[in-house]
Amino acid sequence: MKVMTMKEACVYVVQKRKADAVQHRKTVTQGEYCSGLTAKEYRKVRTKSKGAGGKGRSFSHTRLWNHYHKPVTTN
């Protein structure tokens, strides 16, 4: 690449990005623009949410009640 001024470099970058986008559309999408999901497709997508999950459940099913397994001593 030759030495260029900042303005020339900015123009080159803009043109290069546009050319890369056109090339990407030709190779990946056969010339069409990508579109989002339809409403039907969107409703089918399931995403796991954050939650207490297994750690809380394992504690409540095991260690929470461990004191019942120890013998009661009276002095």
Cα–Cα distance measured from residue 30 to residue 23, given in angstroms and rounded to the nearest whole number: 10
Per-residue confidence (pLDDT) for residue 1, from 0 to 100: 62
User: Which distant-in-sequence residues (6+ apart) come within 8 Å of 45 by Cβ?
Assistant: 37
Q: What is the pLDDT of residue 40?
A: 92
Q: Which residues of the chain have pLDDT under 50?
A: none
pTM above 0.75, yes or no: no
Residue-level pLDDT at 65: 75
Helices (H) and strands (E) in the chain, counts: 3, 0
